[in-house]
């Protein structure tokens, strides 16, 4: 089967899985994995093989970069200590715990450690897809952990693979590898983001900007790997930095294009990866005997249970230690109850990153002999992911309801605050900007009425006394202002200008007001008044309004 036929087959499988999963009420990744297993019965597809390094180089950068672009920096700063503990110490503890379980059940030690590195990190893409019923803070904490823990897992993976293929590491070399991986990854990601900022900021064409954005994760990953640093951390840091600066290095048209194209690309790669691992498992199972498959199924269940127990136990121990060392009121307010820890344990989904790590394991050792336990790694990793999707996914909503986590209305409050602040600022800036841009009185008054009406409607909808106000008779309500507005045109001297001229003035003033809105929005985000996700939501509305005024392409 040639490359085109394989591409069409993978695309058709991803399309079918995406269409059928909601109808069958099955998690999309799980259905794609099952489709991959079914495709493995086609003789022509049994010989499809992925080069181990290509999995990490093609799949991970795009998926991690998109999740980084949509992650809240404020949430990371607020819970930085907890995120770092969970993404470093917990990953190492989980990897060695899984390795011990697998080795006790017959997996060679080196392969068991690689397996531990593969299944230790929760996956950001899976968390984003399956964990949205969590309160916002819990969701962002888990997503931030899932993005940053991949770097630790890949360091453990590199050490384990090095040992498995015949290498040897001293404690000093391990320490240097960890330091170079983390510090180098952060430095490379930051430098690539700065370079992208200066390259992309002068550009105005939406397609050109997005081509540049597409290069960012691959450049960050490549430079980091060439320098011996963590490519995953470099991609994550670059994504966080570019996401924070996106309002200054992109246009309304390019941002709308980004928000359409990147989720599509990430979904295609993620879905293709699940289909491909289903094909790979078919090959593995065919080479194993029945007794070996039964043994590995036992390993799958034991490792999966071990992951849940280790995650809950580690969080409980961390909470106890922090409680002893830090008694500040602010810290007490952030402590997780045991119910929240149960939710976090169940929400620790494994997915595409684990698959990518498992599939990237070398086929042979340095002496050319087959790597012992590679098939075990792929089989057990796939089995753990299936149990994650099949059991933890449907179980999470039940556990969330049982936990009675505090309602999180912070985002809704911040969204209302942002909308009121921006609209109030805009109403106050109409006169100033009209004078600055040489706008006629007629157009200025028309825009003033539009924004004043919008502000009054917003205030009425957010006020608890709106019902009473509507029954109180004549008052300064939106309806009254609307009646006053109807009389204004007769009081305003009509400028001696054509309709086209007035329309152009109206468009210029509205665009100037949108720029003022963006300045205020960036200030609110920079000061931490609103979350990054709220800023993105409001920014999207401003972009849509701008595109209605200018069309798809920006106007110079």
**pLDDT over 60 (residue 482):** no
Check if the beta carbon of residue 191 is closer than 8 Å to that of residue 164. no
**pLDDT over 50 (residue 493):** no
Instruction: Give, in order, the Cα–Cα distances in Å from 326 to each of 74, 77, 313, 336.
Output: 21, 18, 20, 14
Reduced to 3 DSSP states, what percent helix, strand and coil does the chain have, rounded to the nearest 5? 80, 0, 20
Q: What is the mean pLDDT of residues 327-344?
A: 71
Give me Rg for the CA atoms of the chain. Answer: 27
Say what the pLDDT of residue 293 is. Answer: 86
Q: Which residue has the higher pLDDT, 545 or 494?
A: 545
Predicted TM-score (pTM) of the model is 0.79
pLDDT range class, residue 235, cuts 50, 70, 90: very high
Mind listing the pLDDT tens digit for each residue in 203-212? 988 899 999 9
Q: Tell me the two tokens of residue 306.
A: 């071990």
Sign of the Cα pseudo-torsion (14, 20, 24, 27, in order): positive
Q: Tell me the two tokens of residue 380.
A: 């057990």
CATH fold of 3-406: Na+/H+ antiporter like fold (1.20.1530)
Mind listing the pLDDT tens digit for each residue in 410-427? 788 888 888 888 888 888
Closest CA to 230 of 372, 349, 87, 116: 87
Mind listing the pLDDT tens digit for each residue in 259-283? 888 888 888 888 887 787 777 777 7
Mind listing the pLDDT tens digit for each residue in 364-378? 776 667 778 888 898
Mind listing the pLDDT tens digit for each residue in 418-453? 888 888 888 888 888 888 888 888 888 888 888 777
Q: Which residue has the higher pLDDT, 323 or 113?
A: 113
Say what the pLDDT of residue 55 is. Answer: 65
Say what the pLDDT of residue 495 is. Answer: 44
What's the mean pLDDT when you consider all of the chain? 80
Check if the beta carbon of residue 109 is closer than 8 Å to that of residue 103. yes
Q: What is the mean pLDDT of residues 168-175?
A: 74
Instruction: Give, in order, the Cα–Cα distances in Å from 486 to each of 112, 411, 448.
Output: 76, 36, 13
DSSP reduced 3-state for 370: strand
Say what the pLDDT of residue 341 is. Answer: 86
Q: Where are the alpha helices (DSSP H) in 288-371?
A: 290-325, 329-334, 338-346, 352-359
Mind listing the pLDDT tens digit for each residue in 59-108? 788 888 888 888 888 888 888 878 888 888 899 999 999 999 999 998 88
Looking at the chain, the whole-number percentage of residues with pLDDT higher than 90 is 17
Where in the chain are all domains bearing CATH 1.20.1530.20?
A: 3-406
Angle between helix axes 60-69 and 352-359 (nearest 10 degrees) is 160
Q: How many CB atoms lie within 10 A of CB 553?
A: 12
What distance in Å separates the CA atoms of residue 302 and residue 306, rounded to the nearest whole number?
A: 6
For 43-47, 133-137, 185-189, 467-471, which range has the lowest pLDDT when averaged over its residues?
467-471
Say what the pLDDT of residue 343 is. Answer: 87
Q: Which residue has the higher pLDDT, 34 or 281?
A: 34
Q: Tell me the two tokens of residue 407.
A: 């309602």
**pLDDT over 60 (residue 491):** no
Say what the pLDDT of residue 494 is. Answer: 41
């Amino acid at each position: 089967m040639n490359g085109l036929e394989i591409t069409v087959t993978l695309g058709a499988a991803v399309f079918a899985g995406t269409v059928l999963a909601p109808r069958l009420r099955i998690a999309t990744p799980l259905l794609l994995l099952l489709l991959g297993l079914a495709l493995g019965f086609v003789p022509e597809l049994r010989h499809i093989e992925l080069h181990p390094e290509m999995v990490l180089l093609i799949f991970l950068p795009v998926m991690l970069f998109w999740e980084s672009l949509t992650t809240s920096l404020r949430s990371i700063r607020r819970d930085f200590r907890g995120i770092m503990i969970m993404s470093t110490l917990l990953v190492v503890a989980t990897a060695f715990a899984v390795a011990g379980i697998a080795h006790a059940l017959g997996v060679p030690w080196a392969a068991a450690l690689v397996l531990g590195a593969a299944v230790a990190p929760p996956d950001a893409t899976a968390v984003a897809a399956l964990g949205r019923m969590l309160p916002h803070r819990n969701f962002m904490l888990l997503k931030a952990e899932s993005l940053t823990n991949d770097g630790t897992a890949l360091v453990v993976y590199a050490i384990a693979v090095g040992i498995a293929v015949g290498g040897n590491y001293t404690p000093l070399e391990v320490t240097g590898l960890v330091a170079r991986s983390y510090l180098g990854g952060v430095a490379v990601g930051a430098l690539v983001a700065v370079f992208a900022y200066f390259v992309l900021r002068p550009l105005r064409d939406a397609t050109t900007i997005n081509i540049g954005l597409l290069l960012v994760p691959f450049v960050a990953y490549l430079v980091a790997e060439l320098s011996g640093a963590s490519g995953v951390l470099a991609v994550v840091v670059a994504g966080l930095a570019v996401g924070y600066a996106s309002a200054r290095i992109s246009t309304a048209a390019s941002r709308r294009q980004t928000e359409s194209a990147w989720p599509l690309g990430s979904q295609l790669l993620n879905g293709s990866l699940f289909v491909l691992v289903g094909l790979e498992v078919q090959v593995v199972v065919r080479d194993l005997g029945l007794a070996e498959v039964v043994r590995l199924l036992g390993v799958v269940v034991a490792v999966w249970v071990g992951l849940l127990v280790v995650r809950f136990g580690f969080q409980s121990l961390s909470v106890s230690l922090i409680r002893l060392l830090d008694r500040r009121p602010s810290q007490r307010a952030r402590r997780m109850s045991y119910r929240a820890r149960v939710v976090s344990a169940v929400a620790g989904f494994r997915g595409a990153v684990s698959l990518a790590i498992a599939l990237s394991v070398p086929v042979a050792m340095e002496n050319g002999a087959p790597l012992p336990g590679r098939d075990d790694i792929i089989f057990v990793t796939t089995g753990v992911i299936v149990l994650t999707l099949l059991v933890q996914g449907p179980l999470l909503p039940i556990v969330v309801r049982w936990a009675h986590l505090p309602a999180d209305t912070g985002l809704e409050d911040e969204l209302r605050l942002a909308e009121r602040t921006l609209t109030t600022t805009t109403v106050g800036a109409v006169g100033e900007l009209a004078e600055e841009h040489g706008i006629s009185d007629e157009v200025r008054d028309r825009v003033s009425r539009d924004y004043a009406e919008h502000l009054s409607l917003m205030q009425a909808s957010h006020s608890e006394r709106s019902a009473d106000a509507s029954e109180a008779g004549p008052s300064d309500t939106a309806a009254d202002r609307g009646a006053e507005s109807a009389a204004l045109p007769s009081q305003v001297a009509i400028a001696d200008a054509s309709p086209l001229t007035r329309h152009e003035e109206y468009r210029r003033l509205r665009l100037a007001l949108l720029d003022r809105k963006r300045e205020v929005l960036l200030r609110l985000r920079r000061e931490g008044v609103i979350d990054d996700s709220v800023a993105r939501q409001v920014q999207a509305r401003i972009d849509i309004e701008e595109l209605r005024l200018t069309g798809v392409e920006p106007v110079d």
